[in-house]
Structure 1
Amino acid sequence: MFRRTAAFIVLIWLFGFLWFAVALPGPLPSDVRTDAIIVLTGSKGRIEHALDMLKANSAPRLLVSGVDREVKPREFAAEFDVSSRLMKCCVTLGYHAYDTRSNAVEAAQWVAAHRARSIRLVTADWHMRRATLELRRELPPGVQVEHDAVPSQPSLGALLLEYHKLIARAALNLAGQ
């Protein structure tokens, strides 16, 4: 009985991982409009994509969550070629997040303060599922989350680590933590 149960659990884990690794979320078309864009800092291409969506009028404002405290708005603008007008009107740099969980808290507070009812979440394709799980836990009720995943080439190790983090977080959510 134990061997059958163990084999069943391993098969569920394996099929779950295959789904996770093969069916990574993709980008959202730029013509999908939302009230705001939230980008989680991290791997290459995330901030650039979020700024492109802001410039394409996919949303009127952008939160960059998880910016290093040492980065000044002027430095950010210079690095990503953002005009001072766009920085002033439409870009918020969030300095309070240091991981996915705190990204969700920072983003949810910003969403509530701006009364956004829909958001475009920008992060890496391999990170999208856990980021969404964390964000939905924190967002005010009724906020629609659109997934805008930045394609990447994650290693097998990165996929395995992220899959296990997703399983652990989902288990904690089920346990009410």
Structure 2
Amino acid sequence: MIWRALLLVLVSWAIGFMWFAVSLPQPLADKTTDAVIVPTGGAGRIAHGLEILEAKQARLMLVTGVDPDVKPAEFAAEFDVSMQQMQCCVVLGYIAEDTRGNAQETADWVATNKIKSLRLVTSDWHMRRAAGELRSKLPTNIAVVEDAVATQPTLFTLFLEYNKLIASWFSR
């Protein structure tokens, strides 16, 4: 009897993993929101967030999980952002150290800035967990739009992220 239960869990995990790996979230077409939220950690995320800001599809951008050693001027130089745009529209969040921390830092910032809608920009393989953590910290009246940055993750990256996603479901 225990073997059947274990086999059922293993088969369920494998089917879930296949779904996770072949149906990664996709980039979003044009959509306007109050803000764009970009957790650090993946190639193309910040550049895509800045494109959204430049296209006036959001008025503010929070980059959450920035290393405390990164100064605004360094960030501006690295990503070719004017100091005027940094001062008006780009906020660097230094508190978060992980995905759950990104969600809390974002929720605090959203409340302070009276944001009603946001676009979450993160890697396709990271989107489900990041969006889930974020939605668990935000009030239900805040609209969250998912805008995945397309990547080519390794099987190992997908394996780790799928297991982190499952763990996050159980720890909420």
| TM-score category (smaller protein) | over 0.9
Q: Which residue of 2 aligns with 1:63?
A: 62
C-alpha separation in 2, matches of 1:60 and 1:167: 34
1:1-54 alpha-carbon deviations (Å, 9 max, x no partner): 22222221111101100111110001111x200111000000111000100111
Structure 1 residue runs of 5 or longer lacking an equivalent are none
Instruction: Give the AA of the match of 1:73.
Output: P
1:49-101 alpha-carbon deviations (Å, 9 max, x no partner): 10011101111000000111111111100100001111111000001011101
- SS of structure 2 residue aligned to 1:159: helix
What is the CA-CA distance between 1:172 and the residue it aligns to? Answer: 1.6
- After TM superposition, which residue ranges in structure 1, 4 or more long, deviate above 3 angstroms? none
Q: Which residue of 2 aligns with 1:123?
A: 122
Q: Answer whether contact 1:112 1:140 (CA < 8 A) is retained.
A: no
Q: What's the RMSD between the two structures over aligned residues?
A: 0.9
Q: Answer whether contact 1:39 1:50 (CA < 8 A) is retained.
A: yes
> Does 1:24 find its partner at 2:28?
no
TM-score under structure 1 length normalisation: 0.94
Instruction: Give the AA of the match of 2:25.
Output: P
Q: How does 1:46-125 map to 2 (within 5 A)?
A: 46-125=45-124
- Indicate the percent of aligned positions where both proteins have the same amino acid: 56
Number of equivalent positions: 172
C-alpha separation in 2, matches of 1:132 and 1:42: 15
Q: Which residue of 2 aligns with 1:140?
A: 139
Structure 2 residue runs of 5 or longer lacking an equivalent are none
